[in-house]
Amino acid sequence: MKISSAKHLPEIDGLRAVAVLAVVLYHANVPGFSAGYLGVDIFFVISGYLITGLLHHEGQHSGRIDFLAFYARRFRRLLPALAIVLVVTILAAWLILFPAELPRLSKAATAVLLMFSNIHFMQYSGGYFDPSVDVMPLLHTWSLSVEEQFYLFWPLLLAGCLVLARKLAWNVDRLLAGTLLVAILASFAYWLGNLTSNPNNSFYMMPARVWELALGGLINFLPGASRHQRHPSSPVRHASSIALTVIAATLCLPLDPEKYTALLYPSAALATTVLIYAIHCHSSSAGVQILLKNKLAIYIGLVSYSFYLWHWPLLSLGRAYYLGERLLARDMGLVVFSLALAYLSYRWLETPVRRKRPWPFSTDRNTLKAALVIVLTVGLLGHQAKEWGMARNTEITREIKNNSTIWGKERLTIDAPSCKEPKDGKELAPQADCRRGPQNTPLSVVAWGDSHAGHLEGMLYPLAHQAKQQYLLRSFGACPPLVDAAPIKGSSIQLPCAERNRLVLEEIRGLAANGLRTVVLGGRWNSYLAMPETNPAAITSYALVDHWQEAQAQRAPLKVGAAPQDTAGSLETLEKSLRRTLEALSAMNLEVLLMAPVPEPYFNAPHCLYRKTETECRFARQRVDERRNASLLRLQNAARGLPQVHLIDPIEHFCDQQSCRVQKDGFSIYWDTDHLTLEMGHYLSQQLAPQLPWLWAEPGTAQ
């Protein structure tokens, strides 16, 4: 038996328009929509209201819920447009993205098809507000997965209430209302409990969003919400105007989303609930009706689903093509284009599938079969994109090694075991795996630091062979060589880093008694100063906490960007902790080579050279200086008065007074956004060798 839904309310379409425009304009970085992401929360309340009302209406008329019909309706509503967007996104990415990025996109597409993209992006992004998301074309599907996961258990919950009420002769509406209240309170507690300790969990996970969906569902059971008792009410009309004002304020006020989370989300959800209740009771004010019931608002609301689907892949791929750069004029053009695509999707795909039910969707069972075929087909396309991307990336690597006209030739290779450090930081990798240089020669240098100490291998390796001595590599990603300080990510101290540094310092102390001469300190110093990343695909930025053991024992509140883990505090910690490091090494009578930060392009250098000429990939020297001057000054201050510390700034080998290069003498300087190629390291070894006569021990003195 076919169950008809409640009468269509055009104001709901208008509210959808408000929600989708807020999200789209926020994503396009339009001024005035600083909290436009809350449009998703408006959608959640709307969805909860409509789905709960539909299921309740069905239960009232038939005494049961037809699960097959429900899921078939959801597939017809959501899957066709989503599948088309996925196919177009994958094909466009095939042409636009760097080949190495396609496997990541394929993985995301699989997560979308299997309805867990919210979990995927929670794990593989630094957070919804992180710059890295700009080049993730399927990020926006996280909200679809939240709703799809909600649909898996919500009909079962309501059906269970129907059965229980019938068996116990209870009032089913009261039982449903009570159940929704319990769901709201439990979910809100979960959301609030994760807000500080695990904000990504609070944002992405379905249990943390049920309270918004259930709030919408509760509207169907509030006093005066009966389909047979809807009467205009003056207080409700006034409340609808206030609610719309609150929605507008939450979407547009320039409030820090992380600082005011506990205020913004409940305000948007509760105001939306009040407004929908007024619309449901036909008691919305004249102003609300003018704003939400006009033809333009209704049109945008009708196409809102496709508009939401199309806008982000276009924006993201556009930014990826332009190496992560945000351009308002370009992005607004893409928004208009996505609205046109939304109309075509709605007119020629969504509406025919839902209303005319062509052959693959003619029955509920056929719909489920068609859904399976669509999922497998799109998944296969994503897999092919992944395979092509991996194969093409292998070809590019081969081109680099064979003197490609794009990147030049990597003449240098390092013949040494893999130096893989244990992840927990409680022990160091065996020295035998991390020693570099001619075999059976003395060890006289230790290279210590984060991955920017590692990329100095291209410089140290040829110098070690010339000196017929060895160096020991102690390189740990995102772990600067600082005594008694540690980086923090989000609000968490990176304990493995702190432990490793303690062990390395002890190791150096032992080696200093056996002929060690020099320690080379390398770090991506700017990366620990709570500043925006240069890398458009970076996951997160870091700050520094001084005396990390005391902070851990005191359970002091920590957060990147909040004092003292802001830029000013992190700069101070950098100088103090680096000074402690240099003093400790000087006390061991060791020479220290302190490398200043290398200039970093604000894009992935190989990706740029893949698309553009070397000249087009140059970046402004002024911008580089503005970013690195503060940390360079702190490095100079830390080294002042210590004659055994030699600070070397290699910037003249990267930049002239106007610009910095990503290619030099036919080879690429960087292999990503900030790490040097072995070839550039080899070049630096030739250029800096005259400044480093003290680097290696005198023959016969090292052990």
How many Å apart are CA 145 and CA 122, to the nearest integer?
A: 12
The yes-or-no verdict on residue 671 having pLDDT over 50 is yes
Burial 302-327 (b: 16+ CB within 10 A, else e): bbbbbbbbbbbbbbbbbbbbebbeee
Cα 234 to Cα 8, 105, 285, 286, distances in angstroms: 23, 52, 9, 11
The residue with greater pLDDT, 308 or 395, is: 308
Q: Are strands 470-475 and 443-449 parallel, antiparallel or unpaired?
A: parallel
Q: State the pLDDT confidence band at 548, using cuts at 50, 70 and 90.
A: very high
The yes-or-no verdict on residue 232 having pLDDT over 70 is no
Q: What is the mean pLDDT of residues 312-320?
A: 95
How many Å apart are CA 638 and CA 363, to the nearest integer?
A: 74
The yes-or-no verdict on residue 2 having pLDDT over 50 is no
Hey, what are 5's tokens? Answer: 């839904």
**Counting beta carbons within 10 angstroms of the beta carbon of residue 31, is it exposed (0 to 12), middle (13 to 18) or buried (19 or more)?**
exposed
The whole-model pTM stands at 0.82
- Alpha carbon 587 to its chain centroid, in Å, reads 43
How many Å apart are CA 557 and CA 389, to the nearest integer?
A: 43
Q: Tell me if 580 sits within 8 A of 483, measured CB to CB.
A: yes
pLDDT digits (tens, 9 = 90+) for 287-298: 999 999 999 999
Q: What is the pLDDT of residue 409?
A: 42
Q: What is the mean pLDDT of residues 680-685?
A: 94
Q: What is the mean pLDDT of the chain?
A: 90
Positive or negative: CA dihedral 668, 669, 672, 676: positive
Q: State the pLDDT confidence band at 6, using cuts at 50, 70 and 90.
A: low
Q: What is the pLDDT of residue 394?
A: 78
Beta bridge partners of 647: 594
Q: State the pLDDT confidence band at 197, using cuts at 50, 70 and 90.
A: confident
pLDDT digits (tens, 9 = 90+) for 435-484: 999 999 999 999 999 999 999 999 999 999 999 999 999 999 999 999 99
The pLDDT > 90 percentage for the chain reads: 73
How many Å apart are CA 461 and CA 505, to the nearest integer?
A: 22
pLDDT digits (tens, 9 = 90+) for 616-630: 999 999 999 999 999
Q: State the pLDDT confidence band at 561, using cuts at 50, 70 and 90.
A: confident
How many Å apart are CA 358 and CA 119, to the nearest integer?
A: 34
Place of tokens 């924006």: 315
Q: What is the mean pLDDT of residues 263-279?
A: 95
Burial 446-478 (b: 16+ CB within 10 A, else e): bbbbbbbbbbbbbbbbbbbeebebbbbbbbbeb
Positive or negative: CA dihedral 425, 431, 434, 435: positive
Supply the DSSP symbol for 229.
-
The yes-or-no verdict on residue 259 having pLDDT over 80 is no
Q: What is the pLDDT of residue 652?
A: 96
Beta bridge partners of 620: 659
The yes-or-no verdict on residue 348 having pLDDT over 70 is yes
Q: What is the mean pLDDT of residues 541-564?
A: 88
Q: What is the pLDDT of residue 410?
A: 46
Q: What is the pLDDT of residue 491?
A: 79
Sequence-ordered alpha helix ranges (H) in 513-620: 548-554, 567-587, 605-611
Q: What is the mean pLDDT of residues 373-389?
A: 94
Q: State the pLDDT confidence band at 244, using cuts at 50, 70 and 90.
A: very high
pLDDT digits (tens, 9 = 90+) for 475-527: 999 999 999 999 998 778 999 999 999 999 999 999 999 989 999 999 999 99
Place of tokens 């003249």: 652
Positive or negative: CA dihedral 78, 7, 185, 304: positive
DSSP string, 283-349: ---HHHHHHHSSHHHHHHHHTHHHHHHHHHHHHHHHHHHTTT---HHHHHHHHHHHHHHHHHHIIII
pLDDT digits (tens, 9 = 90+) for 233-242: 788 999 999 9
Q: What is the pLDDT of residue 8?
A: 80
Q: What is the mean pLDDT of residues 21-44?
A: 95
Q: Are strands 667-668 and 663-664 parallel, antiparallel or unpaired?
A: antiparallel
The residue with greater pLDDT, 394 or 97, is: 97
Cα 525 to Cα 323, 481, 533, 575, distances in angstroms: 23, 10, 12, 11
pLDDT digits (tens, 9 = 90+) for 326-345: 899 999 999 999 999 999 99
- Region label for 486, one of left (φ > 0), alpha (ψ between -120 and 50) or beta (otherwise): beta
Domains of the chain by start residue, with CATH: 10-392 (no CATH), 431-691 (3.40.50.1110)
CA dihedral 94, 100, 101, 102 (to 10 degrees): 40
Place of tokens 């009468």: 7
Q: What is the pLDDT of residue 43?
A: 98
H or E stretch covering 57:
helix 39-62
How many Å apart are CA 585 and CA 440, to the nearest integer?
A: 26
3-state secondary structure 141-176: HHHHHHHHHHHHHHHHHHHHHHHHHHHHCCCHHHHH
